[in-house]
Chains A and B, each alone.
Chain A
Amino acid sequence: MDIKTIDYLASLARLEIDDSEKESVARDLAGVLAYVDQIQAVAKNLGNIEPEYLKTNTTSSDHVLNMGGQYTQAILNETPNHEGDYVVVKKVL
């Protein structure tokens, strides 16, 4: 895995990676990928298996569990920046 790929992944993951760390990150990722690649051989003769997650679904009834605003203040208190009932972020445009 090259540094360019690390840069690309870091931008996708919204994660700043220090230049000094990139080489060791690339090496570690390549190491893990080399290990997990054993599943290719295992999967080779499996044919078409329906992934388990497609089989079941759970839905919950559509009813209100708590009062409006019940948690607003508690949640706002945990944000690094807020004003009134709003979370403050940097200008997007």
Chain B
Amino acid sequence: MHKFKNINEVHEALINKQISVFDLVSEYLNVAKTKNAEIFAYVEIFDDTDIKQQVDRAQKMFDEGRATKLTGIPISIKDNMLFVGHKATACSAILEGYTATYDAHVIAELKKAGAVIIGRTNMDEFAMGSSTETSCYGVTKNPLNTDLVPGGSSGGAAASVAMGAVMVALGSDTGGSIRQPAGYCGLVGFKPTYGNMSRNGLIALASSFDQISPLANNVSDAKILFETISTYDKLDATCVPIESRSLVKNNSTKTIKKIGVPRKWVSGGGIEEGIKINFDESLKKLEAMGYELVDVDLPMSEASLAVYYILMPAEASSNLARYDGIRYGAHVDSQDLMGVYTQTRGQKFGPEVRRRILLGTYILSHGYYDAYYRTALKVKSTITLELKNIFDKVDFIVTPTTPFLAFEFGSKSDDPIAMKLADLFTTPANIAGIPAISIPSGDAGNGLKHSIQFMGPNFSDYKLFELAESFEKFDNK
């Protein structure tokens, strides 16, 4: 197998004809086919003819001098993105047999760039979970340690990269669904500023938080994927026009200096000792790199997970109303129309999805709307403001990515809160809409890696890449 450090090196080799697109894709495809039986990263690896057509198209782009950085690069997509003519189910039995009728914006961009999509990856049903255990197809194992979960909801996406079956993967991040599995599988996960990515063609969980996000082996690859797909799309009203993304890329007029550290929060209960130790080591590295560390207090942002578990189920219960046994996917027959609705939904949604729909219904119901939904929106606004004010004083905020490392299958399924606490540090970025990146920060034993997260103000995406890349370089020295 060829050993390339990153997409840039592969691109060079493809340009210089050291390798062909066919060779490159075949290598990754073989790994995918060999390892999938054990890891189950993919719910479907596309058939050879399909992949061959994509390979030929990519090779032609090289031969005609039209190749981009992503041309010929093998990539996987999470099962909640529409790729015309291919199945898309969000790993739910309710979308059994559904075939996408159009391309998601990001898929159209990947096709334009000539990337080779080799399959769709496993995920928690409708992205509801942090371990990929709620998928209707079964669990994905963590390639770093097969006794442990890969994280979630983009667990299959992370596993597909970690097992060497693709160079990069597309997932989605609603409350940490990219950054947490990236942490658990020793990868880089990047959640863009809300509005940088078109959600058109992404099967919705909570629309005001969902962002399509890249997963990669290194910062450089994640950045290349982000650059390619973060184009403006008029079909998503929340997608921000390029000229409004105020901070332009590689804007380096000001030397980056200050990083905020929420010490009180990070030293709190429920956070594994090993993670605290690694976090302190990471802070020392940042100091050695020349950054000034500033203590920050985030009393409002600490409530992000609670806000998230009000707004997310509320939006999900409304978004998932469309699965009624009439429009697409599964249909359970009954004596009347109401029976078709209730039985299709009752029998085809999994247990976690049913719970979140009921929770969202409760939160939005008359009598509780003010106490939960409206109050959560108020706190959300306050969190957004708190972070905005902090970013007037510091350039970035650093936290561990997760409060605990990858866990054993089934170990967090009984307590309704235990699993959700995995998102403790990742939800603030979704609540406030700001970008965040998680990157490996040292060995954690058991084959696992530690991971830290950097957050930045709105549209500081490229500055986050810069910071993460310098941390990565320093760490690998």
User: Do the beta carbons of A28 and B355 come within 8 Å of each other?
Assistant: yes
Give A11-53 as 1s and 0s: 1 = Cβ < 8 Å from B's Cβ atoms.
Answer: 0111111100100010111011101111110110010011111
Q: Are A15 and B237 in contact (CB under 8 A)?
A: no
Residue among B330, B334, B349, B381 with the highest chain A CB neighbour number at 10 A: B381
Contacts of B168 in A (CB 8 A): none
Residue in A18, A31, A43, A79 whose beta carbon sits within 8 Å of that of B416 in the complex: A31
Binary flags per residue of B318-352, CB closer than 8 Å to A gives 1, else 0: 00010011111111001011101111011101010
- Minimum distance in angstroms from B317 CB to a CB of chain A: 6
Q: Interface readout for B282-325 with A: 1 if CB under 8 Å, 0 if not?
A: 00000000000000000110010011011000000100010011
Which A residues touch B321, using CB under 8 A? Answer: 14
**Are A51 and B381 in contact (CB-based, < 8 A)?**
yes
Contacts of A5 in B (CB 8 A): 362
Q: Within 8 Å of chain B (Cβ to Cβ): is A75?
A: yes
Asked whether, in the complex, the Cβ of A40 is within 8 Å of the Cβ of B371, the reply is yes
Is the CB of A80 closer than 8 A to any CB of chain B? yes
Residues on B with beta carbons closer than 8 Å to the beta carbon of A9? 358, 361-362, 365
- Are the C-beta atoms of B99 and A78 separated by less than 8 Å? yes
Flag if A90 contacts B346 (CB, 8 Å).
no
Is B359 within 8 A of A58, CB to CB?
no
| Contact B375–A39 (Cβ < 8 Å) | yes
Chain B residues lying within 8 Å of A75, measured Cβ to Cβ, are 101
The answer to whether B358 touches A35, judged by C-beta atoms less than 8 angstroms apart, is no
Main secondary structure of the interface of B (DSSP, over half): helix
* Docked CA distance A40–B378 (Å): 11
Our pick among B307, B347, B382 for the contact of A46 (Cβ within 8 Å) is B382
Interface residues of B in 230-244 (CB under 8 A from A): 234-235, 237-238
Complex Cα distance, B132 from A22, in Å, reads 24
| Distance of A64 from chain B, by nearest CB (Å) | 13
B68 surroundings in chain A (CB, below 8 A): none
A37: which B residues are within 8 A, CB to CB? Answer: 306
Which B residue's beta carbon lies closest to that of A28? B416
Shortest B246–chain A CB gap in Å is: 15
What would be 17 A-B contacts, judged by CB atoms less than 8 Å apart?
A: A5-B362, A9-B365, A12-B365, A13-B357, A21-B351, A25-B354, A35-B309, A39-B376, A40-B371, A42-B382, A51-B380, A51-B381, A52-B380, A78-B101, A80-B328, A80-B330, A89-B337
